[in-house]
Amino acid sequence: MLMQRPVGGGGIVSLKEVLSAEEFEYMQKMAASRFDQIDRTLRELPREMLLVIR
Q: Is the pLDDT of residue 12 over 70?
A: no
φ and ψ of 36, to 5 deg:
-60, -45
φ and ψ of 12, to 5 deg:
-80, 125
How high is the pLDDT of residue 33?
Answer: 92
Question: Rounded to two decimals, what is the model's pTM?
Answer: 0.47
2, 28 in Cβ contact below 8 A?
A: no
**For residue range 15-38, what is the model confidence (pLDDT) as tens digits?**
777 788 898 899 889 989 999 998
Q: Where are the alpha helices (DSSP H) in 2-53?
A: 15-18, 21-33, 35-44, 47-53
